[in-house]
A and B are shown apart, each in its own frame.
Chain A
């Protein structure tokens, strides 16, 4: 296991896309400490900001308030990162496999355009969670993101495949332009959810303000949702029994786009 403890809080954002377990796996403690990070517009060494303990492992533990540390685990291909504290922007963006667990909050664009692996955020997530960067044709494409707190705007926008589950509330444009994939929100769903979605599923547990381009279909008990909820439970997400057995109102849309998307709203009655 490798431990990175923040010793100097950077006064400018630190672009640290070198903090990746797959990069560390073949490196010694001294080599890791020498890896470059961009502090403002100056290159510094990782060791300037972190106390590094251990080497040659793909199990990585980060400690301290890393809210200013961006790009942790971006593009990682294997290994595990555990962060005791907050994480900065672009956490695990574009990651292909592996696991990131944050005992704190994550900044904007966590898991953006990821194409595999798992991110579990025990605090809140920012905007663009699992979303698409500006101009991209799709966002998250495979993988799983679990958030115990709230998430910001454009959660899961342009998602192509994968699962995003948020325990708390999400902001506006959740699941906007989704191509496929599933977004489950246990708190409140912000306005304009699913705007422009082609296919894919959004599940809400409080009645959202839906766009007029979504039409009500029926009330039923989607079987596959039980399986997804069961999976979430296995991942340590607490799921109430009636969510699994209860009925859901199904709306289809966005009729401005392809219209094959669906929004399920849990029907308490």
Chain B
């Protein structure tokens, strides 16, 4: 039991913006009753719900392969063990334990891995089980699943739905994720999807059909989180048209467009590269069915790891760095390569500016989420710096002076004067993502919510303030105090369990017998063995 007294509370879901209030936590949840216990005097401090990262890459085979690819990154960032925490390494692709501790130290208590091939779900759960403190879950890659594409081609919408539900159950995943729909399948025959109407060879369907079918399935299954889309043509000049087409293809259905910064480019490949954030933000502002997370790029060395195989190859061609490409049979692909974002590079500077434009141009903070697509745009540890860029106009202008001026001048960033308020930051870092994910007891401090609370000591430097909270409380336990870990705990794993018609199982079994290297029986993840603290999130009614 904990009492947090006289804090300046930011709880946007419950309409509280900076009121001085007392909070009580009892049995791990926010309570209306003062039941005593440890008292934290939060006078003059900022109190927010625990942070929620809705799109990062922290588990599963691609993350692990990236770790293996970058020993030099780990060598430079060793973490020694302490009596309470394990040793590890940091860098752009940290070890599982280091990931959990660092999220906690930053006041984040929930994170979702955004791209797990169902075939590797068991591996992802194992890694998440070794990720301390935070609650977690993952999205399942379905945009290039051969069974789904075959059923779409056959016009069997019902079967797509039953299969998607079966897959979510079998893998214990949380939402449907599309990555370069159709394009990754095409990449397996050395091609790619360049428009929504390119034919996916061998299936006679188009990316548009995949997007529409799975957006529909997501709605029909009433999943807590809508379809999570990584559009086609990521990183390619002129891709904004594809992105806009994707938004339109949703036809009013709910959809979350992820790391939108990487999909907002004008110009022509090899010739010009510009920002189309302003035009696109206008479209998003006018369409309440859409939400985005930014995927902000920050300057420095990082690792690009993506389910978008052809993108990995493109980056490898551009940087000349070492590269891994993986084909995940029947389901997905993967590309990994190190990348360094440089301030003076005109493309990188434009990417940096586009991310900030998105934050500043989307009017409704509930529909834009702070992410870096960790580690693709930057490490999640840079969130506090992004917060400072959003809250402190002077700092932003100072940083703008360091980047490629020619590139910067072609964006609207120099004209944007908006500054985020603490309440808006609370929305884009916790309340908003929690609501978009459909997590009822996360991202707010109302009675019955999880006892995840972050308490910051005020500091004129917002980066310092958000980088080192004074207290981080997880499920009613004080875990971080003055930057030191005070206890070890393991969070819950969220998953969904939508209903499906068991008649589909026979067809799936046959598909497995014909095409998979694993047996149908060995494919599903056993709840009792792989999810020590499972929590099924009910599908919306």
Contact = CB atoms under 8 A, between A and B. Distances in A.
A34 B75 CA distance: 26
Interface string A127-142: 0000001111100000
A54 B351 CA distance: 57
A136 B72 CA distance: 5
B36 interface: no
Interface in B85-117: none
Contacts of B73: 135
Given A134-B71, A135-B75, 11 more contacts: A133-B71, A133-B72, A133-B75, A134-B72, A135-B69, A135-B70, A135-B71, A135-B72, A135-B73, A136-B72, A137-B72
Contacts of A136: 72
A177 to B, nearest CB: 11
Give the secondary structure class of B's interface.
Answer: helix
B11 to A, nearest CB: 45
Contacts of A137: 72
A137 B69 CA distance: 12
Interface string A88-99: 000000000000
Nearest to A137: B72
Interface of B: 69-73, 75
Contacts of B70: 135
Nearest to A132: B72
Contacts of B71: 133-135
Interface in A134-186: 134-137
A212 B73 CA distance: 34
A17 B159 CA distance: 63
Contacts, number: 13
Nearest to B68: A135
A134 B70 CA distance: 9
A157 B96 CA distance: 32
Contacts of A135: 69-73, 75
Nearest to B321: A137
5 tightest Cβ-Cβ pairs between the two chains A and B: A135-B72, A135-B71, A134-B71, A136-B72, A135-B70
B339 to A, nearest CB: 13
12 contacts: A133-B71, A133-B72, A133-B75, A134-B71, A134-B72, A135-B69, A135-B70, A135-B71, A135-B72, A135-B73, A135-B75, A136-B72
A136 B69 CA distance: 10
Contacts of A133: 71-72, 75
Kindly name the residue among B69, B71, B73 whose own CB sees the greatest number of chain A CB atoms within 10 A.
B71
Contacts of A134: 71-72
Contacts of B69: 135
A148 B69 CA distance: 35
A136 B338 CA distance: 12
Most buried by B among A133, A135, A136: A135
B130 to A, nearest CB: 21
Nearest to B81: A41
A134 B69 CA distance: 9
A135 B321 CA distance: 11
A133 B71 CA distance: 9
A134 B71 CA distance: 6
Q: Which of the listed residues B70, B72, B73, B75 has the most CB atoms from chain A within 10 Å of its own CB?
A: B72
B369 to A, nearest CB: 33
A137 B70 CA distance: 11
Contacts of B75: 133, 135
Contacts of B72: 133-137
A38 B437 CA distance: 47
A133 B70 CA distance: 11
B379 to A, nearest CB: 18
Nearest to A134: B71
A240 to B, nearest CB: 40
A135 B75 CA distance: 10
A133 B75 CA distance: 9
Nearest to B70: A135
B57 to A, nearest CB: 19
B431 to A, nearest CB: 40
Nearest to A136: B72
Nearest to B71: A135
A137 B73 CA distance: 11
A71 to B, nearest CB: 13
A137 B75 CA distance: 13
B322 to A, nearest CB: 8
Interface in A46-80: none
A76 to B, nearest CB: 18
Interface string A215-226: 000000000000
A137 B72 CA distance: 9
A200 B505 CA distance: 62
A135 B70 CA distance: 6
A136 B73 CA distance: 9
A250 to B, nearest CB: 27
Interface in A100-148: 133-137
A249 B519 CA distance: 60
